[in-house]
Amino acid sequence: MAIKLGGSGGGSEINDIKPINTTELLHTDAEGNKWLRQGYLDTDTTTYPAPATVRKTIGEWDGVLNYSSGSVPEGICFDGTYYWIVELTGDTLQKLNASTFAVIGTFYITNYVSNPKSVCYDSVANELYVIGTTNNNRIARFNMSGTYVGNKFDARFLSNTGAGLSSSTATGITTDSTYIYTSHSSVPMAKHSLAKWSMAGVLQERIELPLVATTIMDVQLFDGNIWLFGNTPSALFSIDATTHIWNGDSMGTRRYDYTSKTFVFHGTTCVICTATSQPYYLKHPYVTGVGLGRMEMPQSSTSSSGGLQVNYTRIK
């Protein structure tokens, strides 16, 4: 994809990207070319059939579902039928109805994993993996009845140089049943990277992350990308699961709530757990269309957007 700078014309081609000094969502230049503002998609693929930048992106919120017990969930996953969450209150694993979010099972896991921070579903093993911050970030295994069935491994890696690259304070876990990815905080360098493990717990690599947020709160594999939920600012962003290159996206969540800690994608739905006076859930769909998609945010650890360049992509 070419990236061109300059004025509105200049012999551009479809899928070219450039900054344009306008506030329009869809800009028409002097030659009649159509340019769509980054952070937005146009779902009219009949009018705009050519762009190769068809993306799935976060749409408008389509509902709030109250969840009246417990604390703000630390982690959430979807097993194809039910949601599962982990909470710090009582060190619990809970099974939820996928439509109403009603609790249909509560399992106390404090004897197996203390201070649970995240949960993921392994579709091959048909098990849940819960990671906590004690016992070297131990990963505990649970079957679909919420019964503890053993430990996976300790998600702990140490630096050979003593330069601050050791893992600390697990914050997230996800798996594609071939590898397990964990996120961490506290240690300055570790909190800007992911650890990629074999299913047997052998560290494969550390994946350096863009400095979109100061700390990664949770991680999910979805749609060919590794999605990350950051803190300061509160935002969702993604890197390509193969190349590990940042997609340039960042969707701020702070305008909805300040205490979000976890999220999950599945199908055409995204759920973010959050809280005001009580925990509740925000649901919204994916939208398929053309354009760069996804909201821009500066690649830095500050929530300031001063001086942000707004790009446009040519869609016709």
Q: If you write DSSP's letter for every residue of 87-146 in order, what string do you get?
A: ETTTTEEEEEETTT--EEEEEE-TTT-SSEEEEEEETTTTEEEEEESSTTTEEEEE-TTS
What is the reported pLDDT for 135?
A: 81
302: pLDDT strictly greater than 60 = no
Write down the domain spans for the chain.
72-284
Tell me the CA distances in angstroms from 237 to 62, 221, 246, one per residue in order.
20, 12, 8
Record the pTM. 0.76
CA atoms within 13 A on the CB side of 110: 6
8: pLDDT strictly greater than 60 = no
Q: Does residue 47 or residue 7 have the better pLDDT?
A: 47
Provide the token pair at 30.
């002097």
Architecture (CATH level 2) of domain 72-284: 6 Propeller (2.120)
Tell me the CA distances in angstroms from 262 to 82, 168, 219, one per residue in order.
16, 18, 8
Is residue 249 exposed (0-12), middle (13-18) or buried (19+ Cβ within 10 Å)? buried
CB 155 within 8 A of CB 131: yes
213: pLDDT strictly greater than 50 = yes
